[in-house]
Amino acid sequence: MAVLREVTQALGEAVAAAGRDLNFMHICGTHEAAIARHGLRSVLPKGLRIVMGPGCPVCITPQGEIDAAIELARRGAIVATYGDLLRVPGTGGSLESCGGDVRVVQGVHKAVECAEGTDREVVFVSVGFETTAPTVAAALASDPPENFSILCCHRLVPPAMAWLLEQGEAALDGFLLPGHVCVVTGYREYEQFPVPQVVAGFEPEEVLLGLLMLTRQVGEGRAAVENAYPRAVTRDGNPRARALLAEVFEPADVEWRGFPVIPGSGLRLREPYRRYDAQERFDIRIAPTPKATACICDRVLRGVASPPDCRLFSRACTPRTPVGPCMVSHEGACRIWHQFRGDAA
């Protein structure tokens, strides 16, 4: 508690020294959960705001990819996926309601096990950032059975940050960088961005320390990448995981929910692994789909709206009756704000 008080007080002094309002973004559902669970927004000094960006991998998966997964199930494949993805609405229903053989797995290794035990086609819906992609790469590099494939829905964080900075829609003063992603990738790639950035851990004092370091950078007129999570993150990350990623995947131009196609922001399988690509195997194309509800997940994911700005929040849209993905996933801002209510704001 003493540390928390000390950091909070220093944060107040740093915001006063900066002399203007500050708007920082984090890109990680675990950061949002930590902020909400510990009521950190309630102790932030006036003039300091932290918003969540596109940090929930399930939430940023566009409707077209959900529709493709549903189509695979309807064509008779066993679709294996994380539980969080089951209830995300597609154009005409969800994986949970599609009537196909959809199985919840803890990870890609369980989906491979499933394929080893059957002659049927098994497709793993492979979502996630740089954090989860290396385990998928490792599975594909270990010769999984030929009836196994993935629907590749991975996304990379830095290209989305580049897009957000280029658009300037959210008027951001800096980023709290995602600790889990940086464990894998390190933070060298983020040094290209001309704004304050701090890699932060997930304990309440680590989040506040990250905000303090960001605020001090602004006050001192600096823009650097600093590491407030050195017990887990190094500048170069995990070389083995990065090598696996580079061996199996290559960057691809993909759409994010709430964003247009962002160059190099996704992953696709390199040629030697293309036989595990479910899109090619089943000749499925992912089509852009227009939004058909009043859901403002797109704006929430770009950091220009908060969950209570949505007129459906905690009314028509709840975890039991989700209208958008941000209310489905445990890492979604709407679900987290609904769970922690006043503490989140």
Q: Could you list the residues that contact ligand SF4 (CB under 6 A)?
A: 295-297, 300, 307, 310, 312-313, 317, 323-324, 326-327, 334
Q: How many CB atoms lie within 10 A of CB 284?
A: 18
Give residues with Cβ within 8 angstroms of 201, minimum separation 6: 179, 207, 210, 228, 229, 231, 232
Min dist. Cβ of residue 338 to ligand SF4 (A): 8
CA dihedral 145→148→152→154, nearest 10 degrees, is -60
Min dist. Cβ of residue 323 to ligand SF4 (A): 4
Of the two residues 233 and 327, which places its CB atom closer to ligand SF4 in the complex?
327
Min dist. Cβ of residue 313 to ligand SF4 (A): 4
Read off the amino acid at residue 241: A
Query: Helix 133-140 crosses helix 108-116 at what angle (to 10 degrees)?
Result: 30
Min dist. Cβ of residue 319 to ligand SF4 (A): 10
Min dist. Cβ of residue 73 to ligand SF4 (A): 23
Of the two residues 147 and 314, which places its CB atom closer to ligand SF4 in the complex?
314
Q: Which residue of the chain is nearest ligand SF4 when measured via CB?
A: 324
Gyration radius of the chain's alpha carbons: 20
Of the two residues 58 and 133, which places its CB atom closer to ligand SF4 in the complex?
58
Of the two residues 159 and 307, which places its CB atom closer to ligand SF4 in the complex?
307
Beta bridge partners of residue 261, listed in sequence order? 255
User: Could you tell me the CA-to-CA distances from 223 to 10, 211, 213 in Å, in that order?
Assistant: 20, 14, 11
Give residues with Cβ within 8 angstroms of 119, minimum separation 6: 147
Min dist. Cβ of residue 327 to ligand SF4 (A): 4
Of the two residues 130 and 255, which places its CB atom closer to ligand SF4 in the complex?
255
Of the two residues 56 and 198, which places its CB atom closer to ligand SF4 in the complex?
56
Of the two residues 9 and 321, which places its CB atom closer to ligand SF4 in the complex?
321
Report residue 215 as tokens: 């605020």
Q: How many CB atoms lie within 10 A of CB 258?
A: 23
Could you write out the three-class secondary structure of 277-317?
EHHHHCCCCCCCCCCCCCCCHHHHHCCCCCHHHCCCECCCE
3-class DSSP state for residue 62?
coil
Min dist. Cβ of residue 331 to ligand SF4 (A): 13
Min dist. Cβ of residue 37 to ligand SF4 (A): 19
Of the two residues 85 and 200, which places its CB atom closer to ligand SF4 in the complex?
85
d(CA 223, CA 88): 38
